[in-house]
């Protein structure tokens, strides 16, 4: 768990160093939650840049939307060459391995940016 | 730099589909057995450009890819502004058969992907004798809708961006970035509501499960090719369809490919297509 959470915390440097990704997300300012089993990561996005990632418990902290899956599901998604069905968050949703709830207009309106952001831990956890 | 021309030639042909005049754009290359290619929902015939440029195939096949009405360079029919676009089974079948008739094709092979892969089952059931063979890429007898398609056409979400983002994960992670992005660009360029309108056929009008027994594969061979990373028209869907078709149907689950084999990774796709086209070429005349 610790390694996965640490990788999510490093989204700030991974996203902010990717100027093209920041450009594509420039119209998104939102707080989102990534739920890895029992651990919730609070990710603040300001105009496409990651302003911060917090991992301490914060009950009732609002968010535009949250993406939730078991840690094992995230780890399969974050494999460098994921297996079929574990390679895309919508694929995982279809199979019931991941859920989204909250303001779906924001989620769908920035879908590719969000897909690309949440896939970035693959670079750190990708395995062989 | 020396200019390089491709062998592809594009033209327009006028004919009626379900009583409405249409101006249909198509591209072709090669000579021999006519091979008509059908694009996926919400895109156009550019998906087939790599096949049209593949001289190993165009030596024996006249490869032809047309844009359905509302797609690519085929305009919607006159008066379209007063209707909501919906692809129906009857309209799709008419478009294919009327196109083949307009070009006076003699028992062509039809190869379709996704919605195009689904419609070949209708062609097999009702018009098998008109075709030399049918190839269903990402083919299934039923596509269960799994998300709210209203997201694809509404004023507060960019239609091109969301359509592309929705299908981006249907491609295999091994597929080259350049051809993946080109495939997504086609979705970004699609007309508003066209992808959604095509899905009406795919998810609502096109449930073929109770008609599988009407297909006689001895009248026209059927070949099924499905990419392993496609979670929309999945390998399980194709294998179920193949099982319902019974013995004699050729089915292959393609490694390192997703929902758009011919455009996301043409080099990988041709490895699977080559033996199919070789079989069709050697097929005894009927």
What are the DSSP calls for chain B, one per residue? ------S-EEEEEEEEETTEEEEEEEEEE--SEEEEEE--TT--GGGGHHHHT-HHHHTTEEEEEEPPTTSTTSPPPTTGGGS-----HHHHHHHHHHHHHHTT-SS-EEEEETHHHHHHHHHHHHHGGG-SEEEEET--S-----S-GGGGSBTTB-HHHHHHHHHHTTS-TTS-HHHHHHHHHHHHHSPTTHHHHHHIIIIII---GGGGGG--TTTS-EEEEEETT-SSS-HHHHHHHHHHH-TT-EEEEETT--S-HHHH-HHHHHHHHHHHHHHHHTPPP-
- Name every chain A residue with its beta carbon within 8 A of the beta carbon of B151: 104, 108
Q: pTM score, two decimals? A: 0.96
B90-95: Cβ within 8 A, 24+ apart: B90/B18, B91/B17, B91/B18, B92/B68, B92/B119, B92/B122, B92/B201, B93/B119, B93/B122, B93/B123, B93/B126, B93/B127, B94/B17, B94/B18, B95/B17, B95/B68, B95/B69
What tokens does A26 get? Answer: 């420039």
Q: Is the pLDDT of residue A39 over 60?
A: yes
Distance from CA of A114 to the nearest CA of B (A): 10
Query: Contact, B42 vs B198, CB < 8 A?
Result: yes
DSSP character at residue A18: -
Number of domains in chain B: 1
- Domain residues for B104? 9-281
> Rounded CA gap, B36 and B26, in Å?
10
Cα atoms in the 13 Å half-sphere on the side-chain side of B237: 26
CA of A54 vs chain B CAs: smallest distance (Å): 27
Q: Is B99 domain-assigned?
A: yes
pLDDT digit string (tens) for B50-109?
999 999 999 999 999 999 999 999 999 999 999 999 999 999 999 999 999 999 999 999
pLDDT(B119) > 70: yes
The pLDDT of B174-195, averaged and rounded, is: 98
* pLDDT of A37 higher than 50: yes
Percent of chain B with pLDDT over 70: 100
Listed by start position, the domains of chain A span: 2-125
Average pLDDT of every residue of chain B:
96
pLDDT exceeds 70 at position B221: yes
Q: Mean pLDDT across the stretch B169-186?
A: 98
What pLDDT is stored for residue B204 in this prediction?
82
Q: In whole numbers, what is the pLDDT of chain A averaged over residues? A: 96
What DSSP string describes A112-123? Answer: HHHHHHHHTTHH
List the 87-126 stretch of A: residues with Cβ below 8 A of B.
87-91, 94-95, 104-105, 108-109, 111-112, 115
Q: Which of B98, B166, B104, B113 is CA-nearest to residue B273? A: B113
Q: Is residue B45 part of a domain?
A: yes
CATH code for position B43: 3.40.50.1820
Cα(A25)–Cα(A111) distance, rounded to whole angstroms?
A: 10
Cα three-residue angle B122-B128-B199, rounded to 5 degrees: 20
**Quick one: pLDDT band at residue A127, thresholds 50, 70, 90?**
low
Residues B161, A82: C-beta atoms closer than 8 Å: no
The number of CA neighbours under 13 Å toward the Cβ of A49 is: 6
Q: Distance between CA atoms of B172 and B197, rounded to whole angstroms?
A: 25
Do residues A41 and A34 lie in contact, with contact meaning Cβ atoms separated by under 8 Å? yes
pLDDT digits (tens, 9 = 90+) for B120-147: 999 999 999 999 999 999 999 998 888 9
pLDDT of residue A128: 46
Rounded-to-integer distance, Cα A99 and Cα A94, Å: 9
Q: Give me the mean pLDDT over the B274-280 stretch.
A: 98
A26 touches chain B (CB under 8 A): no
Q: Give residue-wise pLDDT tens across range A82-108.
A: 999 999 999 999 999 999 999 999 999
CATH superfamily of the domain spanning A2-125: SCP2 sterol-binding domain (3.30.1050.10)
Task: Suggest the residue from A78, A103, A109, A127 to mutate for an interface test with chain B (most B CBs closer than 10 A).
Answer: A109
Whether B3 is covered by a domain: the verdict is no
Is the distance from CB of B243 to CB of B252 less than 8 angstroms?
no
């Amino acid at each position: 768990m610790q390694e996965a959470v640490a990788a999510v915390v490093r989204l700030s440097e991974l996203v902010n160093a990717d100027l093209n990704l920041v450009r594509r997300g420039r119209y998104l300012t939102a707080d989102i939650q990534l739920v890895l089993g029992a651990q919730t990561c609070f990710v603040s996005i300001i105009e496409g840049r990651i302003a911060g990632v917090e991992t301490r418990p914060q009950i009732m902290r609002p968010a535009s939307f949250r993406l939730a899956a078991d840690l094992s599901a995230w780890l399969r998604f974050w494999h460098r060459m994921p297996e079929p069905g574990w390679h895309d968050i919508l694929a995982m949703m279809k199979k019931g391995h991941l859920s989204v709830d909250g303001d779906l207009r924001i989620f769908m309106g920035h879908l590719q940016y969000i897909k690309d952001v949440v896939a970035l831990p693959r670079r750190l956890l990708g395995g062989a | 730099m020396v200019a390089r021309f491709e062998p592809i030639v594009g033209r327009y042909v006028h004919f009626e589909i379900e009583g409405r005049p249409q101006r249909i754009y198509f591209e072709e290359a090669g000579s021999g057995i006519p091979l008509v290619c059908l694009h996926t929902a919400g895109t156009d015939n550019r998906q087939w450009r790599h096949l049209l440029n593949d001289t190993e195939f165009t030596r024996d096949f006249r490869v032809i890819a047309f844009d359905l009405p509302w797609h690519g360079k085929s305009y919607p029919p006159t008066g379209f502004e007063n209707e909501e676009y919906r692809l129906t089974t009857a309209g799709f079948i008419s478009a294919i058969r009327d196109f083949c008739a307009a070009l006076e094709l003699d028992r062509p092979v039809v190869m379709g992907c996704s919605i195009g892969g689904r419609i070949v089952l209708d062609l097999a059931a009702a018009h098998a004798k008109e075709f030399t063979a049918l190839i269903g890429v990402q083919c299934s007898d039923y596509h269960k809708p799994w998300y709210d398609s209203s997201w694809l056409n509404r004023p507060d979400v960019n239609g091109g961006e969301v359509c592309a983002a929705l299908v981006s994960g249907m491609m295999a992670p091994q597929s080259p970035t350049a051809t993946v992005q080109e495939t997504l660009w086609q979705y970004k360029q699609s007309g508003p509501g066209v992808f959604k309108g095509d899905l009406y056929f795919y998810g609502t009008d096109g449930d073929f499960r109770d008609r599988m027994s009407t297909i006689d594969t001895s009248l026209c061979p059927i070949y099924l090719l499905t990419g392993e990373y496609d979670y929309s028209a999945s390998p399980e869907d194709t294998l179920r369809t193949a099982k319902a078709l019974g013995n004699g149907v050729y089915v292959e689950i393609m490694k390192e490919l997703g929902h758009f084999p011919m455009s996301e990774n043409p080099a990988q796709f041709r490895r699977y297509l080559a033996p199919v086209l070789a079989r069709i070429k050697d097929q005894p005349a009927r």
